Each structure stands twice: as structure tokens, then as C-alpha cells.
Amino acid sequence: MKKVEFSKLPVWLNAIRDGFLSLLPMTFLLVIAQILDSLPLPIYHQKMYALFGDGYHVFFMKIIHTVNYSYGVGLAVLVAVHLMRAIQRNDIDLIPDTLVGVSAFANFMIVVLSGSFSPESLSYQSIFLGAAIGILTAELLRKLAYLSVFSFLRMPYESNSEFYYVMWLSPAIILLGLITLLVSTYLTTSHILSSWNIALLTFWIEQQASAMWIFHTLSIIINQVFWSVGFHGWLVLSGYFNDFLVPAGAPYDGVHVYRSLLTSFLLMGGSGVTVGLLIAIFLKVKSGYQRKIGLISVVPAFFNINDTLLYGLPIILNPRYLIPFICVPLLLNFLLLVALETGFIVPLNVKLSFTTPPLISGWLLTGSWHGVAFQVVSIIISTIIYLPFVKKVEALRKDEELICYNNATQVILTNRVKPFPTIGRDDRVGMFARGLLTSLLEDLERQRVYMDYQPKHSNDGSLVGLEALLRWPHESYGLIHPQVAVTLAEESNQIQVLGGYVIEHALAFKQKLNSLGYQELNIAINVSPAQLMHLEIVETIERLLIKYELTPDQLELEITESSILPDHPIINEALSR
């Protein structure tokens, strides 16, 4: 039994990560509000005050509080939904996301309301509670739903689908809610959960001669380790280990962790000092996924926000970046503590938002070039450490991308007569197919696709014509099989676009042949049965024959075997014309 549960741990962690990923729009909204509320530009605040008075602060704070108070319950719902999708892939009846979300929301509110309710019960301080309720909701709801005692409520399959699922799952959702209420009430009244008291640990550390070193090091480890497995490290630190930190608004005391020191010197570009990772990516990666993520992450990183890097590369649950992600902040933490003890860094009692950009924050926090110099050196160290990891990850990414590309093209080539389009798949093959389709349409628009012309000979060996062959040189994968292009165009209803491109280029080439005196050579063009399902191909050919001053007998159409040619009146009309 333990082996089975342990094997589910990666699935649970992935669900938690995906839950936080789904909360990114809320995170971005929160960050934008924080940036606009505390932008370190006096002229900006003067203009805002002149336009809106002090009300603009109130407006941004309402957004900040609203997002904060949605974190816990939002995470519970999203973790439950993502986990249920993962664990019921082989089930016959799939529990709808809506009812999974309803159950998780109800269970979270039951737990919150069964204790001493406060707005903070819904906020980022309850992310552990949200993750736990999300996991338990998905796992238990799936088990309860299939209890035979509830089978009499299952409606026939011809019932309305929404009514079918509501009748089937309502008893399980209600029973799970009652179980949650009983367990939550017991835990609250028995005070089992109140045994966790960070104040005792804080008091012990404060008595040590190296208290500052211990507080700083533990804070960095907590932040980085929790981020690496998908939990928002800073929210964990400030929500559950707040006693490690200097109280908000209080001056630096030389013992506890000064928030502005941590965010300004050890979280530059975001957790993991990923400003160095960004620079390393731009130095070593010239194209592809990592560079694209890097470009998207530049502006947020300027304000010490790196969620797109954490979830996009990804860094979370990615062993390839685990070592530098944890070790870089620890190394810089050591250097910072040395700088504090030697007096090279002397923090001022100033209120800085965590979104204050690097270098600016170094100057504002210390009032001297020392802070800026320390940040510059830290960024260089971070970049040097991340460089070899970026290089290795990029090499592995290219190998994996090539494997995925080969798998996708193989599926596309063997999917020509099947009713399910490759571009409609929700796996990696489907993503690659959609990516290739996007590239194809872009390359057609930019005239990157070209034609080769293969000679056609008669039985006596004389040259009688040329066959136009599609050639698609992809910037990343080289020359792609023409049938891949045809199949993708057919699946996306873009075959007329591709076909028109081929016909135009072939007839333009035929016009050149005629001008050189080779009127007797015909041009053969391959057409797909899907093209013949629309009379547009006839109109296109007629228009282009006139445009290039050609006659119909100079053109041959060869029907490809990309799909079965049906007996259809439109096809018959197209062929007759």
C-alpha cells in the first residue's frame, strides 16, 4: 500500500504545480497592482495623486487583498481538477471538472468555517491547506463515486449529461463534505494542529551567537526548496515562518532577516537569482523554446518576478536546474552575510517594494555604490554558475525536440486516412503538429516554400514534361516531407491555401519555360482529393491560366493518395471542368 501511495507523489506534485500555474493570471494581476502602487518614481505618484487623490492607493490595495484572499480556495479547486484529470484517464465515466471544483470549494470552506474564520483563512497563508484539500478531494471523490451503494442513482446514458453526472456524484460529494466536517471539527477541538509553533524555534535561534547566519540560511533554503517543488516559496516563508523576518516597517536589527535585504540582494530577477539565468540563456541559446521563454521573462524579471521562468522552462520539478537554483542564492547569502559583518553593506531603514529593480534597489537600500557593486558582482556570479547548466539543458532540449518532431511527423504521415486529425490531439504530438502547421502557414506567407521540378519521360526516353514537387525547408528541422505539409493542410482546412500556392508557382514556372521556347513541356501538379471537394480549385486554375497566358492542355493534374477519393457530385463537376 505504501508503495502505491509513494508512486502517486509525482502526480500530486504535478497537480500542485499545475494549480499554481493556473493561478498565474491572478499572480500577474497581484504583481501589476503592487508595481503600480509602489513604483519607485516620485513623479509617477505625484501625477497619480493629482489625478485620483489618495484613492488610487485604495484601489490597488483592494486588488491586492482580493487576489490574496482567493489564493487558498483557488488552489484547492485547481489542484483537485488537475489531479482528477490525471488519475481518471483510464476510467470509463470521467468525473466533470465542474463537479470536482464544486466539491473542493465546499470542502475548503467547510474546513475554514469550522475553525475561527478570518479573511486570512482564504489567503496565501492557507496554500498548504488548499493543496491538501485539493489532493484529498480528487482521491476520495473518485473512490466514493464508484461505491455500489450509490449505483441506484445512476441515470440511463440517454439522460441529459449534466443531470446524469449530478445525480451520480451528488451523494459522493455530500458524503465527502460530511467526512471533511467531522475530521476538521475533531482536529480543531483536539488542538492537534496547534502544536506547530515556529516561535519556539525562533526563540532558540535568537539565543545563538550565529543567529543572523541561521535565520538567513534557513530562510533561503525554505524559499528555494518549496519553490523547487511547486509551492510559492516567499508565501510559505512569510506565511509560516514570519518570525524569522524583521517585522514589516521595523528597522534592521542585525539578527532577523530584513525583507528588503532578502529581496534586493538574494532574489534579483526572482527566486534563485534568475537574472543570471536569463543572461546565461541569451549568451548560450540563439533560438528555440528557452530563448523564447527568456524574452517573455525579461520585463517581469526587471521587477524581480520570474513565474514565467519557473513554470515555463520549467525550473519547478526540474532536476536539471535544481542545483544552481538552490546553490546560487545560498552562495550569495554567504557573501551578503560577510558584507554585513564587515560593514561593506549597511542597510538603511527604508521601505522598498520587492518589485524595485536591481541596481536601483541596491542604491536605495544602502545609499551608496556598495549596494550597486554587490548586486553587479552577484549577477556576474549567478550568470557564471548558470551558464554550464543552460548549455547542457539546451543540448538535451534539442535532442528531445528532435525525437518529438520525428514522432509527430511519423504520426502525421500514418494518419492520412484516419478520421481523427493529428492537430486535434492534446498530447505532445498534437502540440508539435499544431506548431508545424503554424510554421507552414508562416512559410507560405513569406514565400519560403519552393518547388522542385522532376523531369517526366516518355517510353522512348524523350522529355515530355515536368512534375512540380513541393519543398518545405523548415528553419529548425530542415527539409520536411511534403506529405506532412499536405496532411496538415487537409486537417486544418487550409488545403486550398497550400494548393493555390503550389498551382501559382508551377504555372509561373511554366510561363518562364514558354518564354524560353519549351512550349511542348507540360507541367504536372499533384492535387489532393480534399481540394476537389471545392469548386474553388477550378476557379483558381482558370484565373491563373489567364494570368500566366497558358492553355489548359499545358497543365496536368495528378490526384494524390493523401485520402480516399469519394464519389461526390462536386468532385465529379470539378473533374469534368
**Structural domain includes residue 306:** yes
Shared domain for 432 and 522, answered yes or no, is yes
Q: pLDDT for 550-574, tens place per residue?
A: 888 888 888 765 445 455 454 444 4
Is residue 507, in this structure, part of any structural domain at all?
Answer: yes
Q: Is residue 497 part of a domain?
A: yes
Q: What is the pLDDT of residues 544-556, one digit of tens each?
A: 888 988 888 888 8
Residues 349 and 231 reside in one and the same domain = yes
Q: What is the mean pLDDT of residues 260-271?
A: 90
Percent of the chain with pLDDT over 90: 34
pLDDT of residue 418: 56
pTM of the predicted model as reported, rounded to 2 decimal places: 0.72
Are 523 and 570 contained in the same domain?
Answer: yes
Specify whether 76 is located in the same domain as 148.
Answer: yes
What pLDDT digit, counting tens, does each position of 127-137 carry?
Answer: 788 889 999 99
Residues 216, 191 within the same domain: no
DSSP state of 231: S
Any alpha helices (H) in 414-481, and if so which ranges?
Answer: 428-445
What mean pLDDT comes out for the span 213-233?
90
The pLDDT-based confidence of 229 (bands split at 50, 70, 90) is: confident
Domain match, 327 and 446 both: no
* Domain-ending residue, one of 195, 219, 244: 195
Please indicate, yes or no, if residue 161 is contained in any of the structural domains: yes
Respond yes or no on whether the N-terminal peptide bond of residue 455 is cis (omega within 30° of 0): no
Q: Which three cell numbers stand for residue 26?
A: 491572478
Please name the residues in contact with 8: beta carbons below 8 A apart, sequence gap of 6 or more: 87
Of 195, 227, 262, the residue that ends a domain is 195
The alpha carbons of the chain give a radius of gyration, in whole angstroms, of 32
Q: Which of 50-64, 73-87, 187-201, 391-405 has the lowest mean pLDDT?
A: 187-201
For residues 242 and 186, membership in a common domain is answered with no
β-partners of residue 558 are 526
- Residue 415 is assigned to a structural domain of this protein: no
Instruction: List the grid coordinates of 112.
Output: 475554514
Please give the Cα distance from 317 to 347 (Å, whole number): 35
How many angstroms separate the CA atoms of 353 and 342, rounded?
26
Give me 562's grid cell.
493523401
Residues 464-519: tens digit of each pLDDT? 889 999 999 998 888 999 999 998 998 888 888 998 999 999 999 989 999 888 88
Per-residue pLDDT, 308: 81
* Rounded Cα distance, 173 and 326, in Å: 41
What is residue 6's predicted lDDT score, i.e. its pLDDT?
A: 46
How many CB atoms are located within 10 Å of the residue 286 CB?
A: 8
> Of 164, 195, 226, which residue constitutes the final position of a domain?
195
Q: What is the pLDDT of residue 518?
A: 87
> Which of 239-248, 267-276, 431-440 has the weakest average pLDDT?
239-248
Residues 125 and 25 in one domain: yes
Residue 465: what are its φ and ψ, rounded to 5°? 180, -175
User: Cα(137)–Cα(169) distance, rounded to whole angstroms?
Assistant: 13
- 3-class DSSP state of 450: strand
Q: Is pLDDT of 1 > 50?
A: no
Burial of 3-26, coded b for 16+ CB within 10 Å and e otherwise, reads: eeeeeeeeebbbbbbbbbbbbeee
7 has pLDDT over 80: no
On whether both 10 and 139 belong to a single domain, the answer is: yes
Residues 566, 447: one domain? yes
Alpha carbon distance 403, 74 (integer Å): 37
Please report, rounded to a whole number, the percentage of residues in the chain having pLDDT higher than 70: 91
User: In this structure, is residue 204 part of a structural domain?
Assistant: yes
Least confident of 74-78, 337-341, 454-458: 454-458
Q: What is the DSSP code string of 107-120?
A: HHHHHHHTS---GG
CA distances from residue 53 to 41, 56, 259 in whole angstroms, order as listed: 17, 7, 29
- For residue 24, name the pLDDT band (cuts at 50, 70, 90): confident
* Residue 412: half-sphere exposure toward Cβ, Cα within 13 Å: 31
Q: Note the pLDDT of residue 475.
A: 87
The Cβ of residue 436 has, within 10 Å, a number of other Cβ atoms equal to: 24
Instruction: Please give the pLDDT value at position 273.
Output: 93
pLDDT digits (tens, 9 = 90+) for 150-178: 777 777 766 777 888 888 889 999 999 99
CB 72 within 8 A of CB 146: no
Domain range for 378 is 198-396
Amino acid (one-letter) located at 51: L
364-375: pLDDT as tens digits: 999 999 999 999
**Looking at the domain assignment, is residue 477 inside a domain?**
yes
**Residues in CB range of 159: below 8 A, 6 or more apart:** none
Pairwise pLDDT comparison (230 vs 425), residue with the higher score: 425
Contacts of residue 242, Cβ cutoff 8 Å, sequence gap at least 6? 198
Residues 393/285, Cβ–Cβ less than 8 Å: no
Q: How many domains does the chain have?
A: 3
Domain match, 385 and 237 both: yes
Highest mean pLDDT among 379-393, 407-421, 562-576: 379-393
Residue 404 lies in a domain: no
CA–CA separation, 36 vs 28, rounded Å?
12
pLDDT band (50, 70, 90) for residue 575: very low
CA-CA distances (angstroms) from residue 169 to 25, 35, 88, 136, 396?
30, 44, 15, 16, 45
Same domain? 538 vs 521: yes
Residue 450's domain is classified under what CATH number?
3.20.20.450
